[in-house]
Amino acid sequence: MTAQKIRTRLRTYANREKAKLLQGFFKTGPGEYGEGDIFLGIVVPDIRRTAKEFHDAPLVEVIKLLRSAVHEERLLALLILVSQFTNGDEAQKKKIYSLYLKNTAFINNWDLVDLSAPNIVGAYLLNRSRKPLYTLARSRDLWKRRISILATSAFIRKNDFKDTLAISAILLRDEHDLIHKAVGWMLREVGKRSLAAEERFLKQYYRSMPRTMLRYAIERFPEAKRRRYLKGTI
CATH number of the domain at 19, please.
Answer: 1.25.10.90
Q: Domain range holding 79?
A: 1-115
Within a domain: residue 123? no
Instruction: Report the interhelical angle of 71-87 vs 44-53 (nearest 10°).
Output: 50
Give the angle subtended at the CA of 67 by the CAs of 42 and 26, to the nearest 5°: 45
The pLDDT value given to residue 211: 96
What is the SS3 assignment for 115?
coil
Same domain, 22 and 110: yes
Q: Do the domain assignments include residue 121? A: no
pLDDT of residue 233: 87
- Asked which of 60, 88, 115 is the last residue of a domain, the reply is 115
Measuring CA to CA, which residue among 77, 91, 18 is closest to residue 48? 77
The predicted structure's pLDDT at residue 146: 98
Inside any domain, residue 124: no
Query: Do 69 and 162 fall into the same domain?
Result: no
Instruction: Out of 84, 115, 146, pick the residue that ends a domain.
Output: 115
Q: Are residues 38 and 144 in the same domain?
A: no
pLDDT exceeding 90 applies to what percent of the chain?
91
Which residues make Cβ contacts (< 8 Å) with residue 169, sequence separation at least 6?
A: 201, 205
Which of helix, strand or coil describes residue 73? helix
Instruction: Kindly calculate the radius of gyration of the chain based on its CA atoms and give it in whole angstroms.
Output: 19
93 and 152: one domain? no
**pLDDT at site 32:** 87
pLDDT for 29 equals: 87
Print pLDDT tens along the chain (234 aa). 899 999 999 999 999 999 999 888 888 889 889 888 999 999 999 999 999 999 999 999 999 999 999 999 999 999 999 999 999 999 999 999 999 999 999 999 999 999 999 999 999 999 999 999 999 999 999 999 999 999 999 999 999 999 999 999 999 999 999 999 999 999 999 999 999 999 999 999 999 999 999 999 999 999 999 999 999 888
CA dihedral 89, 91, 94, 98 (to 10 degrees): -130
- Does residue 27 fall inside a structural domain? yes
pLDDT at 3: 92
pLDDT of residue 55: 95
Cα(1)–Cα(192) distance, integer angstroms: 43
Distances (CA, A) of 92 to 59, 81, 86, 89, 116: 10, 10, 9, 5, 16
Residue 125 within any structural domain of the chain: no
